[in-house]
Amino acid sequence: MAIKTQPVTVNLGPQHPSTHGVFRMRVMFDGEEIVDVEPVFGYLHRGSEKLAEERTYTQVVTLTDRMDYVSSMLNNHAYMLAVEKLAGIEPSPRGVWLRMIASELQRIASHLVATGFLLQDLGALGTPLIYAMRERENILDLFEMLCGARITNSYLRPGGVFMDAPDEFWPALKRSLVDILNTIDELETYLSGNEIVFSRTKGTAVLPPELLINASITGPMLRASGVDWDLRHRNPYDYYDKVQFNRILHTASDNYARYWVRVQEMRESLKIIHQCVEQIEPGPVRPSFDEIPRLIRPPVGDAYVAIEGSKGELGFYLVSDGGISPYRMHVRASSLINLTLLRDMLIGGLFGDLFVTFGSVDLNMGEVDR
């Protein structure tokens, strides 16, 4: 006999400890079961795309830092590739290697944050989160050596990076790689075999690959469903065709698969960094100012470049009218597009899984709202 119950609407957020920023969900519950979800976002909208129209091409880098603030190096990277394509700039090889190292480090940092917060949402009370953050500190220290800042890097410039890595960077990088590998191992021993994590994440929020493709979901979320789509492999930008790495695929397409894909991708990123360090060669880190002036005036036209960001396909679309600043900039924010399937993932689930699923998408509200 089914008990007749009345659904209750609960407002979660924007100030909720687990919404990864200022995100709001109006959720309709039937007991513990989720009947309906209405995501509300826009609380962190800062108009970055509009602001870019009033900045020169180099100045926009500082805006891209603040979009997805846990992977600013990747934002820099995507934006600079778009500028280079628009202005026809040939980057310096050493600069490219350096920005690949920086990007992969940032990918590890972002995945560490994603994993840590997913486990925090699972209720592990901060322990795995702090283990992940501890290693992220190492990476941020490396960034500080490279560019003097930890989060808002602005490291990349058209054609490369602004400055070569200092001498102390390389030994520190080597140390950090070992530390990160140990932490990934530790996280895996701690949680990948943990029965509570299994029972909480396996088989929850399963999405069919067709739906993911139709909703143009990218990144670890797509790869967790078995679709082999990694832009580093499919459409190699920079020197990603010169490095070898495994494409991490999982077929379960549930929360655990998404978590697992991220953890394994960190290992692959370590491999990529190692190969970059092996292949990097001396030389200037960016073309000289005779070739590329500070004030770029790209020819009239447009360019779209997408890279494999930490959260999915991160694309920058730039339109130039021949002036010193972009006529229009549009960002294909992977977080925002990955968010579109939230309703499909949540409905029918339980309240306990709500934030776990939310965390497994790996959102960053800075990128969603821009």
Partner 1 sequence: MIGLGLPRGFVVTLKNFIRPAVTEQYPDRRIGLFGAAKEAGMNPVRFLFSRPKESFKAFVGLATVPVAVKQSARFRGNEFVFFEDRCTACASCAKYCPLGIIEIVSVPGKIDAQEGESYKLEVFDIDIGRCMFCGLCVEACPYDALHMGTQFERSKYVRDSLVITKEELGAALKRPSSFYRPQFEEKTFDPFLEVIEDFHDAGRHERPSADELKRKWVDER
Partner 2 sequence: MGQSFLDNSLWRNVYCFLAGDSTDCATRNYSDGVLPAGMEWLAFLIAAVVVIALVINGVLGGVIVLIWGERRLFGRFQSRTGPNRWGPWGTLTSVADAIKTMFKEDVVPADADRILFNLAPVLIAAPALLVFAVIPFGIGTYVADLNVGILFVMAVTSLTTLSVLTAAWSSANRIAILSALRSVALLISYEIPMALALVGVIMLAGSMSLGGIIEAQSVPFIIVQPLAIFVFFLAAMAEMARAPFDLTEAESELAAGYLNDYASMKFGLFFLAEFMAELSTSAIVTTLFLGGWKGWEPIPSHFWFAAKLVLVLFVIIWFRMTLPRLRVDQVLKLAWKGLFELTMINIIVTAVLIAIWPEPTTSRLWIMAAINWPVAIISIWAVSKLLGTTQYENPVPDPSSPVYPVATSAIPASAVFSGDVVVGPTGMDGGD
Contact flag: residue 173 with partner 2 (CB under 8 A): yes
Nearer to partner 2, 110 or 264 (CB): 264
Residue 9 in contact with partner 1, rule: CB under 8 A = no
Interaction of residue 139 with partner 2, rule CB under 8 A? no
Q: Which does 281 bind (CB under 5 to 8 A by kind): partner 2, partner 1, none?
A: partner 2
Decide if residue 125 touches partner 2 (CB under 8 A): yes
Near partner 1 by CB under 8 A, which window of 162-170, 210-218, 258-266, 301-309? 162-170
Task: Out of 19, 48, 58, 360, point to the residue binding partner 1 (CB under 8 A).
Answer: 58
Residue number, 166 or 283, with CB nearest to partner 1 = 166
Residues in the chain: 370
**Binder of partner 1 out of 149, 181, 277, 347 (CB under 8 A):** 149
Site string for partner 2, 25-44 (x = CB under 8 A): ----x-xx------------
Between residues 23 and 317, which has the closer beta carbon with respect to partner 2?
A: 23
Is the separation of the CB atoms in 82 and 317 below 8 Å? yes
Residue 266's binding partner out of partner 2, partner 1, none, with CB under 5 to 8 Å set by partner kind: none
Give the residue from 295, 288, 227 showing the smallest Cα distance to 257: 227
Short-list 173, 198, 326, CA closest to 255: 198
**C-alpha–C-alpha distance, residues 201 and 71, integer Å:** 25
Selected from 144, 210, 228, 321, the binder of partner 1 by CB under 8 A is 144
147 binds, among partner 1, partner 2, none (CB under 5 to 8 A by kind): partner 1
Count CA within 13 A, CB hemisphere, residue 217: 29
Phi-psi sector, 333: left (phi>0), alpha (psi -120 to 50), beta: beta
Q: Does position 287 bind partner 1 by CB under 8 A?
A: no
Considering CB distances under 5 to 8 angstroms, the limit depending on partner class, which of partner 1, partner 2, none binds residue 6? none
Element (DSSP H or E) covering residue 255: helix 255-279
Which position among 35, 44, 145, 206 is part of the footprint of partner 1 (CB under 8 A)? 145
Write out the two tokens for 353: 């899984």
How far, in Å, CA of 200 to CA of 155, rounded? 39
Q: Which residues of 299-334 are buried (b: 16+ CB within 10 A; e: fewer)?
A: eeebbebbbbbbbbbbbbbbbbeeeebbeebbbbbb
**Cα separation, 254 vs 257, whole angstroms:** 5
Beta bridge partners of 314: 307
* Contact of 331 with 67, CB cutoff 8 Å: yes
User: Is 46 one of the binding residues for partner 1 (CB under 8 A)?
Assistant: no
Which of 65, 68, 104, 121 is the binder for partner 2 (CB under 8 A)?
Answer: 121
CA distance 48 to 32: 39
Residue closer to partner 1, measured from CB, 32 or 144: 144
Interface positions, 169-198, toward partner 1 (CB under 8 A)? 186, 189-191, 193-198
Please report whether residue 193 would count as binding partner 2 according to CB under 8 A: no
- Which residue number, 199 or 340, has a Cβ lying nearer to partner 2? 199
* Alpha-carbon distance values, 77 to 99, 100, 236, 294, 326 (Å): 7, 8, 13, 18, 17
| Partner interacting with residue 271 (select from partner 1, partner 2, none; CB below 5-8 Å by kind) | partner 2
Residues making contact with partner 1 (CB under 8 A):
55, 58-59, 61-63, 65, 127, 131, 134, 137, 141, 144-149, 152, 154, 162-164, 166-167, 186, 189-191, 193-198, 294
